[in-house]
């Protein structure tokens, strides 16, 4: 009798479990967005190889998911695979260029082409595509890369100046350097005779100074809070 009651109770308990937790194992399926979220978590922890796996799985699950291509492009860049970075950024942009984080792609491409040594395309993606789609005069916030806010639009402007110098576009380079000083809130104005070796040497020294300043994080950009002065891109 007791054994029969135990058997009945166990059967009843199992029945309730099936009723209230139907198919509880196997029904929770990660979405492409979940994969990308995990990928960015790995990226932010500088675990770039694992990040690649998650972003790759996100692309396999949904080849139209822009955030996965964004992650692949930036992660490849950190792994010094600039060619692969270009591939993933461009592969998605060939499908669509009207999504919310498109500046991430244009900035990433300017960095990648700079690393490859293609100054023409580095300049094009910085000047025409990035700054051509980002206008602080119209109220656009200063761009920051929200998964690593040490990277921001000042870095893009620096790539632009470097590319212009390498292409012997010295007047353009001097304008970009002056804009960088202005963006940094500094009153420095460079006005050299760029037809001379001395003038170009001075211009290079300014680029070097700016590079060190930006690398050290002395940029004053407020990525997380709308301060009324261009901040809050990542808020």
Q: What is the pLDDT of residue 216?
A: 66
pLDDT tens-digit profile of 143-158? 999 999 889 999 999 9
Q: What is the pLDDT of residue 235?
A: 77
Q: In sequence order, which residues have a C-beta less than 8 Å from that of residue 104 and are 6 or more positions away? A: 70, 74, 145
Candidates 216, 218, 217, 234; CA nearest to 226 is 234
The segments of the chain whose pLDDT lies below 50 read: 1-29
pLDDT tens-digit profile of 49-97? 999 999 999 999 998 989 999 999 999 999 999 999 999 999 999 999 9
Query: For residues 167, 168, 169 and 174, what is the CA-based torsion angle, rounded to 10 degrees?
Result: 110
User: pTM for the whole thing?
Assistant: 0.84
Structural tokens at position 52: 């690649």
Long-range Cβ pairs for the range 190-195 (8 Å, 24+): 194/170
Taking each helix axis as running N to C, give the angle between helix 153-166 and helix 170-183, from 0 to 180 degrees, rounded to the nearest 10.
160
For residue 19, count CB atoms less than 10 angstroms from its CB and return exposed for 0-12, middle for 13-18, buried for 19 or more.
Answer: exposed
DSSP code, position 130: I
46 within 8 A of 40, measured Cβ to Cβ? no
- Please give the distance of CA 136 from its chain centroid, rounded to a whole number: 19
Q: 């119209």: which residue's tokens?
A: 138
Q: What is the pLDDT of residue 138?
A: 61
Q: What domains sit in the chain, N to C, each tagged with a CATH number?
A: 27-98 (1.25.40.10), 100-235 (1.25.40)
């Amino acid at each position: 009798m007791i054994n029969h009651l135990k058997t009945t109770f166990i059967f009843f308990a199992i029945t309730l479990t099936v009723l209230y937790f139907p198919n509880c194992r196997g029904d929770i399926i990660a979405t492409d967005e979940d994969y990308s979220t995990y990928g960015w978590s790995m990226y932010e922890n500088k675990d770039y190889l694992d990040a690649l796996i998650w972003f790759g799985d996100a692309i396999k699950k949904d080849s139209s998911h822009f955030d996965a291509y964004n992650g692949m492009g930036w992660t490849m860049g950190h792994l010094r695979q600039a060619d692969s970075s270009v591939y993933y950024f461009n592969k998605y942009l060939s499908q669509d260029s009207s999504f919310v984080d498109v500046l991430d792609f244009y900035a990433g491409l300017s960095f990648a082409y700079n690393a490859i040594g293609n100054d023409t395309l580095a300049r094009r993606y910085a000047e025409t595509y990035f700054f051509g789609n980002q206008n602080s005069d119209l109220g656009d916030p200063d761009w920051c890369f929200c998964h690593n806010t040490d990277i921001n639009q000042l870095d893009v402007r620096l790539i632009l100046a470097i590319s212009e110098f390498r292409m012997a576009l010295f007047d353009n380079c001097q304008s970009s350097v002056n804009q960088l000083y202005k963006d940094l809130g500094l009153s420095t104005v460079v006005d050299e005779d760029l037809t001379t070796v001395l003038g170009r040497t001075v211009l290079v020294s300014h680029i070097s100074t700016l590079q060190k300043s930006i690398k050290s994080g002395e940029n004053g950009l407020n990525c997380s809070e709308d301060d009324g002065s261009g901040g809050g891109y990542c808020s």
